[in-house]
């Protein structure tokens, strides 16, 4: 899969959100006030006009009254009428701008000047609130744009020089002062560092790392000046990858969003023709037909029919879900995957790097006939000659005393190592190596399912070391909480030994587990599950070998911190913290988002249908019509904004 490059210079921190005639800019305080000036002018003139009408002031008659309300209408009405005209010229007639223009101009035609101004004023105010809510919903996502590093201190020609991160090459050394953002991905050269990774992972707790650990662009250096060797170019950095995902996520619509937009395009012209019918058809059936009365009812019908409550509140709900997920270190690649996550009933997961840390550690040391320290000195002397991950784990053991040195070390293919340490012949490897050299191995080692390193010194069995991958801290809690949220069918598929896979599954209370699988075997297992149409499958993985299964699943979830680029590119959802428990949170956010979206749909349709019927029967005025449109839109917005304030406590 070709990776899409992101030019971060094209991503503006204050990128605009346009919905209607209101520009929706992220204004400063001064320009924000200017945005509300037209509505304030119209409101002031409307209130004065209604007051003059109420007290029946003598001069406020005829053309003076018409002119007053006409001027009050222009600040809020002109932009809408203009937008409606532009849409008509483009061939898009039945828009909300057209509906509001016809309804309010029609009110002026029949002499209902205050109501014409009021309807357009409330519509404009509703649009302002909608725009503010959209910007608020985008806040968590747009905040990522502000973590883009602006410069890098790179070591060149014997000194550190400040340059753009885009011109720094792989392998160069950069310096990051306290409080500065790390501009590029790299390897820590300093002894240790404390980093704030909240922008990348959603975790506020500082991350303490040691020399040679990976560091990611966008992290903030907290304690002391550090040096980093660059491993990725700027456009390939972790922050660029996140920004790319976020930008694309807002463009991928859910099926519900697409349906509502298509529905609005059909529903709006139908209502327009119904309004025409409401105006003229009663002429043939009603004895006391009055054109002005039926036109008024039709105008109410048009105001109520405006679909903006649906068209804005539904995408806003999904936007809120995407933003809330991003705030929690979970990146959905689109609203469609928020929907898909709500339907998941089967979860398949990888083992290494997903529920385990993917790092080997010594679990047990047992020396026979030797003290542990001396036994480990012999073993470590041999393992220094090996590059195997297990050797690395053994060399992390802290042994007191001077280091031993191994000589004449040779590798016995598929069995282990043979060499001389302190004049003694040392064998380090598996049971096959011991058997080949006629060394008796205790039967207790046969019941150990983890990786085991056997050691013989001078043809005598000297002991063994058990090496195991550690479970992640939240692995057990994840399985428990998945059951709580209704995911009963959980399966583990691993390329590791089946015995180890079964033991890990037992620890986690996973009943269905298979080990020793190749990538194609994992894919086959998922394809078997997919044959049952009732199974909606999510797969969690982190390695290159997981990419085919991630692509085949209904929802592919990748671990974004330790995960491979291929897995991250293929997946639909990225867990930035590498915590499996975030999957439960992703499910909860998805379900809450869908719940709020459907609440908004039912609210908008329900109120509109009721007021449409009342309006056609002459029982509703323009004021009820305004509530059915703008009022419902505002209620839907407030409902959607709740997503930003919710706490998805995993213990709930």
402 φ, ψ (degrees, to nearest 5): -75, 150
Domain assignment of residue 652, yes or no: no
pLDDT confidence of 243, banded at 50, 70, 90?
low
Q: Which two tokens stand for residue 554?
A: 């209904």
What number of other Cβ atoms are within 10 A of residue 248's Cβ? 13
Domain assignment of residue 584, yes or no: no
Q: Which of 13-22, 302-311, 638-647 has the lowest mean pLDDT?
A: 13-22
pLDDT (mean) for 534-543 = 88
Residue carrying structure tokens 């014997």: 158
Between 504 and 651, where is the model more confident?
A: 504
What number of other Cβ atoms are within 10 A of residue 78's Cβ? 13
Q: Is 267 helix (H, G, I), strand (E, B) or coil?
A: helix
Q: Which two tokens stand for residue 438?
A: 């006629």
Predicted pLDDT of residue 17 = 32
Q: Which two tokens stand for residue 434?
A: 């011991």
Predicted pLDDT of residue 308 = 66
Q: Are residues 128 and 260 in the same domain?
A: yes
Predicted pLDDT of residue 242 = 60
What number of other Cβ atoms are within 10 A of residue 285's Cβ? 7
360 φ, ψ (degrees, to nearest 5): -75, 140
Q: Are residues 65 and 194 in the same domain?
A: no
Q: Are residues 120 and 47 in the same domain?
A: yes
Catalytic residues: 350
Q: Does the pLDDT at position 428 exceed 90?
A: yes
pLDDT (mean) for 97-111 = 84
pLDDT confidence of 11, banded at 50, 70, 90?
very low
Predicted pLDDT of residue 571 = 81
Domain assignment of residue 407, yes or no: yes
Burial 475-509, CB ≥16 within 10 A → b, else e: bbbbbebbeebebeebbbbbbbeeebbbbbbeebe
Half-sphere exposure of 611 (CA within 13 A, CB side): 27
pTM above 0.85, yes or no: no
pLDDT (mean) for 533-546 = 83
Q: Are residues 135 and 161 in the same domain?
A: no
Domain assignment of residue 412, yes or no: yes
pLDDT (mean) for 467-491 = 91
User: Of 451, 471, 491, which marks where a domain is finished?
Assistant: 471
Domain assignment of residue 187, yes or no: yes
Q: Does the pLDDT at position 6 exceed 50?
A: no
Mean pLDDT of the chain: 81
* Residue 347 contacts residue 540 (beta carbons within 8 Å): yes
- Using CA atoms, how far residue 570 sits from 324, 547, 560, in Å, is 22, 6, 12
Q: Is 227 helix (H, G, I), strand (E, B) or coil?
A: strand
Distance CA 482, CA 172 (A): 44
Q: Are residues 556 and 434 in the same domain?
A: no
How many residues in the chain? 652
Domain assignment of residue 59, yes or no: yes
- Using CA atoms, how far residue 441 sits from 366, 372, 413, 429, 461, in Å, is 13, 18, 20, 12, 7
Predicted pLDDT of residue 201 = 55
Most confident among 286-300, 421-435, 624-638 (mean pLDDT)? 421-435
pLDDT by residue (tens digit) across 30-83? 556 788 899 999 999 999 999 999 898 989 998 999 999 999 999 999 999 999
User: Of 407, 441, 471, which marks where a domain is finished?
Assistant: 471
Q: Are residues 90 and 110 in the same domain?
A: yes
Distance CA 442, CA 450 (A): 16
Domain assignment of residue 4, yes or no: no
379 φ, ψ (degrees, to nearest 5): -65, -45
Query: How many structural domains compose the chain?
Result: 4
What number of other Cβ atoms are within 10 A of residue 522's Cβ? 23
Q: Are residues 478 and 463 in the same domain?
A: no
Distance CA 319, CA 341 (A): 15
The whole-angstrom distance between residue 258's C-alpha and the CA centroid of its chain comes to 20
pLDDT (mean) for 422-432 = 92
Domain assignment of residue 18, yes or no: no
Q: Which of 285-299, 317-331, 373-387, 583-597 has the lowest mean pLDDT?
A: 317-331
Q: Are residues 134 and 281 in the same domain?
A: yes
Q: Which CATH number belongs to the domain containing residue 479 in this structure?
A: 3.40.50.1000
Q: Is 215 helix (H, G, I), strand (E, B) or coil?
A: strand
Q: Which of 169-173, 383-387, 471-475 has the lowest mean pLDDT?
A: 383-387
pLDDT by residue (tens digit) across 123-155? 788 778 766 665 655 555 555 445 567 789 999
User: Of 179, 201, 233, which marks where a domain is finished?
Assistant: 233
Strand ranges inside 368-434, DSSP E: 406-412, 416-421, 424-429
Predicted pLDDT of residue 299 = 83
Q: Are residues 136 and 35 in the same domain?
A: yes
Q: Are residues 427 and 389 in the same domain?
A: yes
Q: Which CATH number belongs to the domain containing residue 158 in this structure?
A: 2.70.150.10
Query: Structural domain of residue 155, as residue ranges?
Result: 150-233
Q: Are residues 44 and 136 in the same domain?
A: yes
Predicted pLDDT of residue 260 = 61
Reported as type and span, the H/E element at residue 196 is: strand 192-196
Which of 303, 399, 329, 372 shows the shortest CA–CA distance to 103?
A: 303
Q: Are residues 516 and 558 in the same domain?
A: yes
């Amino acid at each position: 899969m070709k990776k899409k490059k992101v030019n971060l210079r094209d991503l503006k921190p204050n990128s605009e959100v346009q919905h209607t005639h209101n520009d929706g800019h992220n204004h400063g305080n001064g320009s924000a006030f200017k945005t509300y000036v037209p509505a304030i002018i119209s409101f002031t003139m409307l209130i004065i006009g209604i007051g003059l009408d109420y007290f029946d002031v003598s001069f406020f008659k005829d053309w003076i009254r018409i002119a007053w309300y006409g001027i009050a209408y222009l600040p809020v009405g002109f932009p809408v009428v203009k937008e409606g005209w532009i849409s008509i010229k483009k061939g898009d007639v039945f828009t909300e701008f057209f509906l509001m223009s016809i309804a309010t101009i029609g009110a002026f035609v029949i002499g209902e000047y205050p109501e014409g101004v009021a309807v357009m004023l409330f519509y404009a105010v509703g649009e302002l609130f909608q725009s503010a809510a959209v910007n608020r919903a985008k806040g968590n996502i747009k905040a990522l744009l502000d973590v883009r590093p602006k410069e890098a201190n790179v070591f060149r020609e014997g000194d550190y020089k400040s340059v753009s991160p885009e011109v720094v090459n792989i392998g160069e050394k950069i310096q990051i002062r306290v409080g500065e953002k790390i501009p590029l991905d790299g390897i820590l050269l300093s002894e240790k560092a404390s980093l704030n990774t909240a922008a990348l992972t959603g975790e506020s707790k500082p991350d303490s790392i040691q020399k040679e650990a990976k560091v990611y662009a966008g992290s903030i250096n907290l304690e002391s000046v550090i040096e980093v060797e660059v491993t990725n170019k700027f456009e390939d950095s972790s922050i660029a990858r996140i920004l790319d995902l976020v930008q694309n996520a807002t463009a991928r619509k859910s099926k519900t969003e697409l349906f509502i937009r298509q529905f609005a395009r059909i529903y709006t012209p139908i209502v327009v023709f119904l309004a025409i019918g409401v105006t003229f058809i009663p002429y043939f059936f009603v004895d006391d037909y009055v054109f002005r009365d039926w036109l008024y009812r039709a105008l109410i019908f048009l105001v109520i029919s405006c679909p903006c409550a649906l068209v804005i509140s539904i995408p806003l709900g999904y936007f809120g879900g995407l933003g809330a997920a991003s705030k929690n270190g979970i990146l959905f690649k689109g609203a469609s995957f928020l929907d898909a996550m709500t339907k998941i009933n089967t979860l398949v997961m990888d083992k290494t790097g997903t529920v385990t840390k993917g790092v080997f550690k010594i679990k047990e040391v047992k020396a026979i006939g030797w003290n542990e320290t001396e036994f480990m000195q012999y073993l470590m002397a041999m393992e220094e000659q090996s590059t195997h991950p297990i050797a690395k784990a053994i060399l992390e053991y802290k042994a007191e005393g001077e280091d031993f040195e191994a000589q004449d070390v040779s590798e016995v293919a598929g069995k282990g190592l043979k060499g001389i340490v302190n004049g003694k012949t040392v064998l380090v490897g598996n049971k096959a190596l011991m058997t080949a050299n006629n060394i008796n191995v205790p039967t207790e080692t046969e019941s150990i399912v983890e990786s085991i390193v056997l050691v013989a010194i001078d043809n005598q069995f000297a002991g063994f070391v058990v090496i195991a991958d550690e479970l992640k801290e939240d692995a057990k809690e994840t399985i428990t909480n998945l059951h709580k949220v209704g995911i009963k069918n959980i399966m583990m598929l691993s390329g590791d030994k089946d015995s180890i896979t079964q033991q890990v599954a037992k620890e986690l209370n996973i009943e269905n587990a298979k080990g020793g699988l190749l990538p194609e075997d994992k894919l086959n297992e998922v394809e078997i599950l997919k044959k049952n149409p009732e199974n909606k499958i999510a797969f969690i993985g982190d390695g290159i070998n997981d990419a085919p299964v991630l692509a085949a699943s209904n929802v592919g979830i990748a671990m974004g911190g330790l995960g491979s680029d291929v897995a991250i590119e293929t997946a639909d959802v990225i867990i930035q913290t590498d915590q499996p428990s975030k999957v439960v949170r992703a499910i909860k956010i998805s379900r809450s988002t869908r719940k709020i979206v459907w609440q908004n749909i039912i609210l908008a349709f329900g109120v509109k249908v009721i007021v449409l019927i009342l309006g056609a029967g002459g029982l509703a005025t323009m004021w009820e019509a305004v509530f059915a449109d703008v009022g419902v839109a505002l209620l839907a917005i407030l409902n959607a904004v709740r997503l930003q304030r919710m706490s998805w406590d995993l213990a709930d």
